[in-house]
């Protein structure tokens, strides 16, 4: 099984159906995935490779012959959750010494030697660019005597794109498609370039083949993924060209993407969003901080003024655009006055959604050499102020939508009431409405009648 543990539900997690099975009779695999959509996409790629080698998939780790944990370390909390599973894995290994335990992903890449040396029951540690070797490594491990030191494969490879592999789709109308891997930005707080390597773009034809394959499986909503999608380049095509090409694919009714970077996002992209009806009016544009000195310390090579200019142009080209962001408070040396500039920027932009964090030191980063000099209680107080502001702004922006007519894509039954459908507006506000003969994947007109929390209750509008 592929089980997702993530904080990203607010931006549209794909609906999950029971895990599709292979016709193989090989070993059973359970995959647990932590973190972002990129990790979800990677786990689906791994499943595809293992299925091709005859592996089956199961619903619990206890019934598995192979347990793989795909880890994330973008934030300290994500790393702690993933490493916290190691104790449970030890119990699984003791109950069945022949069971193969593998640690994958960014924590595996960054802490490979520590994991192997400190957790002898781990059979393999595999980084994001080495998943192609998993079938061979598993085959080798199955014939290795118990107690043999774990296998290590964490080479970063500029040429690895996995673009010849169709990730294993789990059903539902939404799917993630990775278009670019790695990152060249080297933000001082971020470990991604050290764990996922440098930027490299997939050929556009391979992206379109994957989208075509997904559409044949019932997908209607495609999210294009990359650490920095705006850096996408292939034979003279940029990200705006890629986005438009996917939106033009037959069967696709919605296209969205993440994540953008303020130094690379172009007016061409914003114009493309405004001109193409299938491209969703939603932009995730991390600001991280609202003060220019702090941005420079973060190695974010833009200013507050530049960022606000992008927001102004985004709203010009896409008047109904919804905006989301990432913010870090308590970065080393951030003063109270500098934090107030972040607070005022958020108040000025009025985001629909924001992912807000207190700074946590990440290994292998430039910022890890700085003195983490902001007391934790100060970080918490700043974070709580931002959260309170964002909750107020988000509520006000949602309340302004009540009474509006819009379209929703039906994603599946509502989680709390099987007599209701759950769907999302083009700008990804969650909606529920009574079933009335519709099907999953239908795009229907509705009126947003009321709001409970952050979920809208809607009624269908029928054409006369």
- CATH number assigned to the domain comprising residue 85: 3.40.50.12160
Please tell me whether residues 12 and 72 are part of one structural domain.
yes
pLDDT per position as a tens digit, 237-285: 999 999 999 999 999 999 999 999 999 999 999 999 999 999 999 999 9
> Which of 259, 280, 301 is the endpoint of a domain?
280
Domain annotation covers residue 303: no
- CATH number assigned to the domain comprising residue 413: 2.40.50.140
Asked if pLDDT for residue 20 goes beyond 60, the answer is no
Q: Which of 9-13, 147-151, 230-234 has the lowest mean pLDDT?
A: 9-13
Average pLDDT score over the chain: 93
**Is the preceding peptide bond at 259 cis, omega within 30 degrees of 0?**
yes
Please tell me whether residues 393 and 424 are part of one structural domain.
no
Q: How confident is the model over 401-418, as a mean pLDDT? A: 96
- Which pLDDT score, from 0 to 100, does residue 1 have? 47
- Which pLDDT score, from 0 to 100, does residue 41 have? 95
Closest by Cα among 232, 246, 306, 305 to 276: 246
Domain annotation covers residue 313: yes
Please tell me whether residues 396 and 428 are part of one structural domain.
no
Q: How confident is the model over 34-47, as a mean pLDDT? A: 93
Domain annotation covers residue 140: yes
Sort 350 into a burial class: Cβ within 10 Å, 0-12 / 13-18 / 19+: middle
Please tell me whether residues 329 and 380 are part of one structural domain.
yes
Please tell me whether residues 392 and 411 are part of one structural domain.
no
Please tell me whether residues 23 and 141 are part of one structural domain.
yes
Domain annotation covers residue 227: yes
For residues 407 and 344, what is the distance between their CA atoms, to the nearest angstrom? Answer: 33
- CATH number assigned to the domain comprising residue 315: 3.30.750.200
pLDDT per position as a tens digit, 90-140: 999 999 999 999 999 999 999 999 999 999 999 999 999 999 999 999 999
Number of Cβ within 10 Å of residue 96's Cβ equals 12
Closest by Cα among 314, 228, 298 to 263: 228
Domain annotation covers residue 304: no
Q: What is the 3-state secondary structure (H, E, C) of the chain?
A: CEEEECCCHHHCCCCCCCCCCCCCCCCEEEEEEECCHHHHHHHHHHHHHHHHCCCEECCCHHHCCEEEEEECCCCHHHHHHHHHHHHHHHHHHHHCCCCEEEEEHHHHHHCHHHHHHHCCCCCEEECCCCHHHHHHHHHHHHCCCCCCCCEEECCCCCCCCCCCCCCCCCCCCEEEEECEECCCCCCCCCCHHHHHCCCEECCHHHHHHHHHHHHHCCCCEEEEECCCHHHCEECCEEHHHHHHHHHCCCCCCEEEEECCCCCCCCHHHHHHHHHCCCECCEEECCCECCCHHHHHHCCCCCCHHHHHHHHHHHHHHCCCCEEEEEEEECCCCCCHHHHHHHHHHHHHHCCCEEEEEECCCCCCCHHHHCCCCCCHHHHHHHHHHHHHHHHHHHHHHHHCCCCCEEEEEEEEEECCEEEEEEEECCCCCEEEEECCCCCCCCEEEEEEEEEECCEEEEEECCCC
> Which of 384, 400, 416 is the endpoint of a domain?
400
> Which of 124, 153, 182 is the endpoint of a domain?
153
Domain annotation covers residue 10: yes
Please tell me whether residues 246 and 199 are part of one structural domain.
yes
Are the beta carbons of 204 and 237 closer than 8 angstroms?
yes
Please tell me whether residues 118 and 31 are part of one structural domain.
yes
- CATH number assigned to the domain comprising residue 204: 3.30.750.210
Please tell me whether residues 251 and 344 are part of one structural domain.
no
Structure tokens at 312: 């102004």
Domain annotation covers residue 255: yes
How many distinct structural domains can be found in the chain? 4
- Which pLDDT score, from 0 to 100, does residue 11 have? 33
Please tell me whether residues 25 and 69 are part of one structural domain.
yes
Domain annotation covers residue 233: yes
Q: Which domain holds residue 414?
A: 405-460
Please tell me whether residues 179 and 246 are part of one structural domain.
yes
In this prediction, residue 87 has a pLDDT band, given cuts at 50, 70 and 90, of: confident
Please tell me whether residues 345 and 274 are part of one structural domain.
no
pLDDT per position as a tens digit, 205-243: 999 999 999 999 999 999 999 999 999 999 999 999 999
């Amino acid at each position: 099984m592929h089980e997702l543990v993530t904080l990203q539900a607010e931006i549209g997690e794909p609906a999950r159906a029971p895990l599709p099975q292979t016709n193989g009779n090989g070993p059973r695999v359970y995959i647990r995935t932590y973190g972002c959509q990129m990790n979800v996409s990677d786990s689906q790629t791994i499943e595809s490779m293992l299925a091709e080698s005859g592996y089956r998939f199961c619903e619990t780790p206890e019934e598995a012959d192979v347990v793989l944990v795909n880890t994330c370390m973008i934030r300290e909390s994500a790393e702690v959750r993933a490493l916290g599973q190691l104790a449970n894995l030890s119990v699984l290994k003791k109950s069945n010494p022949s069971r193969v335990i593998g640690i994958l992903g960014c924590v595996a890449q960054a802490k490979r030697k520590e994991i192997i040396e400190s957790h002898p029951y781990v059979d393999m540690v595999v980084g994001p660019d080495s998943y192609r070797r998993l079938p061979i490594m598993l085959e080798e491990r199955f014939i290795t005597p118990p107690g043999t030191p774990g296998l290590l494969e964490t080479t970063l490879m500029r040429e690895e794109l996995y673009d010849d592999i169709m990730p294993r789709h789990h059903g539902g109308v939404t799917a993630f498609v990775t278009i670019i891997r790695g990152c060249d930005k080297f933000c001082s707080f971020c470990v991604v370039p050290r764990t996922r390597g440098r930027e490299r773009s997939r050929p556009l034809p391979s992206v379109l083949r994957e989208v075509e394959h997904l559409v044949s499986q019932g997908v209607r909503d495609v999210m294009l993924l990359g650490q920095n999608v705006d850096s996408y380049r292939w034979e003279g095509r940029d990200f705006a060209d890629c986005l438009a090409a996917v939106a033009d694919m037959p069967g696709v009714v919605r296209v969205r993407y993440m994540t953008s970077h303020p130094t690379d996002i172009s007016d061409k992209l914003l114009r493309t969003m405004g001109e193409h009806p299938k491209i969703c009016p939603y932009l995730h544009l991390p600001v991280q901080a609202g003060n220019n000195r702090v941005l420079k310390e973060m190695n974010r090579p833009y200013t507050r003024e530049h960022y606000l200019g992008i927001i102004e142009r985004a709203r010009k080209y896409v008047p109904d655009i919804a905006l989301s962001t990432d913010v870090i408070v308590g970065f080393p040396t951030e003063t109270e006055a500098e934090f107030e500039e972040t607070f005022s920027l958020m108040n000025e932009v009025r985001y629909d959604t924001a992912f807000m964090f207190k700074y946590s030191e990440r290994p292998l980063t430039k910022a890890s050499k700085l003195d983490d000099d902001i007391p934790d209680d100060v970080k918490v107080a700043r974070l709580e102020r931002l959260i309170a502001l964002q909750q107020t702004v988000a509520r006000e922006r949602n309340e302004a939508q009540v009474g509006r007519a819009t379209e929703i894509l039906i994603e599946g039954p509502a989680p709390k009431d099987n007599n209701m459908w759950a769907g999302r507006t083009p700008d990804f506000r969650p909606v529920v409405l009574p079933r009335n003969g519709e099907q999953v994947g239908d795009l229907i007109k509705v009126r947003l009648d009321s709001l409970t929390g952050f979920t809208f209750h809607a009624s269908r509008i029928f054409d006369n």
